[in-house]
């Protein structure tokens, strides 16, 4: 079965991509993912803010207690408190790229314009096959206008595109007033790929301790419906590749996304939940499904259930919504 696909101008052996997660945080982890059969790997995001915070912490911790007591004028070897910068990430990228023969995509989350461009350049130099922009923009000011949020996304993309030659994808939030327009704007601004959607690490509240806690849950298949709907709508309407993420657990989820029009399907939750070897299980399942349905390749199945380009997208979505609502209500009719 021909599982190959193209993503961001790259030929992938199959459409299953390991998305950013702790699994790809080490070279050994990337190797395990490659051995398990994935078509490409996205490294965990490089967070500029986190690096800056770590740099400040490192300095504070290294200075603590120094030059105070005659026997211990310092507590660390010189240089222990250096600014981590992107050094560690770049090293991971370099080593991972050298260790596997599938594309390794870097993921970047900057917090300053300089951060976006400097780090993007460093990632390109380190051999990234492509860069995924993880634009985690949560303005603390509730009065921050939505249009400005959108504009910020476009600016980041164009800024990064201006300094690198490798493909650049944008991992989008689903929380735009008009997600479709946002996608089209990014497409026009030169995005090589759109990754739908980002799942934000939203803090939780512990009612027992009355504290805000950091929690992160793995996605569930049902969560795939939203991105799938948008992929179905955007397929054929944008030049950018479309990557699906969220709610991928089994081969059937891959099939669903491909039918909707995704070029690649990304997952971290399935691999974290079932283990890295589950990639092989999903790919086998995909092959079997394609064969069972009489497809010779992934390309044959791709986009079969996308919203046709000549259709009225909104009307199509509306019609599907109404239909689904009617069926759902019908299922719960007790009278």
Partner 1 sequence: MTRATVDGNEAAASVAYRLSEVCCIYPITPSSPMAELADEWSSQGRPNLWGAVPSVVEMQSEGGAAGALHGSLQGGALATTFTASQGLLLMIPNMYKIAGELTPAVLHVAARSLAAQGLSIFGDHSDVMAVRQTGFALLASASVQEAHDLALVAHAATLATRIPFLHFFDGFRTSHELNTISLLDDADLRALVPDELVRAHRGRALSPDRPFIRGTAQNPDTYFQARETVNPFYAAVPGAVQDAMDALAGRTGRHYSVVEYSGHPQADRVIVVMGSAGQTVAETVTHLTALGERVGVAQVRLYRPFPARELVDALPPTVSRIAVLDRTKEPGSAGEPLFLDVTAALADAFQISERDTLPQIIGGRYGLSSKEFTPGMAAGIFAELAAAKPRRRFTVGITDDVSGSSLQYDPSLDIEPPGTVRAVFFGLGSDGTVGANKNTIKILGADEGAHAQGYFVYDSKKSGSQTVSHLRFGPMPIRAPYLVRHASFVGCHQFGLLERADVLGFAAPGATLLLNCPHRAEEVWDALPRPVQEQILAKRIELYAIDAGRIARDVGLGGRTNTVLQTCFFAISGVLPRDEAVARIKSAITKTYGRRGADVVARNTQAVDRALDGLHQIKVPGRVTSAIELPPVVPATAPEFVRTVTAEMLAGRGNDLPVSALPADGTYPVGTAAYEKRNISDLVAQWDPDLCIQCGNCSFVCPHSVIRSTYYDQAMLDGAPEGFRSAPLDARGLPGTEFTLQVYVEDCTGCELCVQACPVTAPGQPGHKAINLAPREPVLGSERANIAFFETLPVADRARVDFGTVRGAQFLKPLFEFSGACAGCGETPYIKLLSQLFGDRLLVANATGCSSIYGGNLPTTPWTAGPDGRGPAWSNSLFEDNAEFGLGFRLAADRQAQTARRRLSELREQAGAELVDEILSAPQLGESELASQRERIAELKRRLAAATCAVQPGQPADPVQDALLDLLSVADHLVRRSVWIVGGDGWAYDIGAGGLDHVLASGRNVNVLVLDTEVYSNTGGQSSKATPLGAVAKFAASGKTMPKKDLALQAIAYGYVYVARVAMGADPQQTLRAFREAEAYDGPSLIIAYSHCIAHGIEMRDGLGQQYRATASGYWPLIRYDPVLRDCGGNPFLLDSPRPRIPLSDYTRRELRYRALGNTDPAEAERLAALAQQAVDRQWDTYEEMATRGPAHFPPDARRPAPGAANVQEDH
| Site residues, partner 1 (CB under 8 A) | 26-28, 52, 54-85, 87-88, 91-92, 95, 209-211
CB-nearer residue toward partner 1: 148 or 206? 206
CB-nearer residue toward partner 1: 99 or 304? 99
CB-nearer residue toward partner 1: 9 or 59? 59
Beta strands 211-213; 204-206: pairing state: antiparallel
CB-nearer residue toward partner 1: 81 or 305? 81
CB-nearer residue toward partner 1: 69 or 335? 69
Q: Which residue has the tokens 């609502």?
A: 325
CB of 109 to partner 1, least distance (A): 17
Dist CA 47 CA 86 (whole Å): 9
- Length of the chain equals 335
CB of 202 to partner 1, least distance (A): 18
Dist CA 313 CA 183 (whole Å): 14
CB of 98 to partner 1, least distance (A): 11
> What does each C-alpha distance from 234 to 250, 301, 305 come to in angstroms?
23, 16, 12
Contact residues for 170 (Cβ-Cβ < 8 A; gap 6+): 132, 133, 135, 153, 157, 186, 191, 193, 194, 195
Dist CA 146 CA 152 (whole Å): 10
């Amino acid at each position: 079965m021909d599982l190959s696909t193209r993503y961001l101008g790259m030929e992938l052996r199959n459409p299953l991509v390991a998305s950013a997660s702790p699994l790809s945080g080490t070279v050994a982890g990337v190797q395990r993912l490659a051995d398990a059969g994935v078509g490409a790997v996205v490294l965990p995001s490089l967070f500029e803010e986190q690096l800056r915070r770590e740099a400040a912490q490192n300095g504070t911790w290294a200075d603590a207690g120094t030059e105070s007591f005659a026997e211990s004028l310092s507590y660390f070897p010189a240089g222990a408190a250096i600014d981590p910068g992107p050094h560690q990430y770049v090293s991971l990228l370099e080593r991972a790229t050298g260790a596997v023969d599938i594309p390794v995509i870097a993921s970047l989350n900057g917090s300053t314009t300089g951060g976006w461009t400097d780090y993007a350049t460093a990632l390109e130099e380190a051999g990234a096959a492509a860069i995924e922009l993880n634009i985690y923009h949560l303005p603390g000011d509730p009065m921050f206008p939505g249009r400005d949020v959108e504009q910020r996304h476009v600016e980041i993309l164009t800024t990064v595109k201006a300094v690198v030659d490798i493909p650049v994808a944008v991992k989008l939030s689903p929380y735009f007033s008009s997600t479709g327009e946002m996608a089209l704007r990014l497409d026009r601004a030169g995005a090589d790929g759109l990754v739908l959607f980002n799942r934000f690490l939203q803090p939780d509240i512990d009612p027992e301790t009355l504290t805000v806690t950091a929690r992160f849950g793995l996605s569930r298949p049902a969560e795939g419906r939203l991105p799938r709907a948008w992929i179905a709508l955007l397929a054929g309407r944008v030049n950018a590749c479309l990557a699906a993420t969220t709610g991928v657990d089994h081969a059937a989820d891959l099939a669903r996304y491909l039918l909707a029009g995704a070029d690649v399907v990304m997952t971290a939750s399935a691999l974290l939940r079932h283990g890295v070897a589950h990639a092989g299980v999903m790919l086998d399942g995909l092959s079997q499904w394609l064969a069972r349905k009489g497809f010779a390749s992934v390309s044959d199945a791709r986009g079969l259930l996308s919203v046709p380009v000549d259709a009225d997208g909104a009307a199509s979505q509306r019609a599907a919504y109404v239909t689904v609502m009617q069926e759902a209500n019908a299922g719960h009719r007790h009278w």
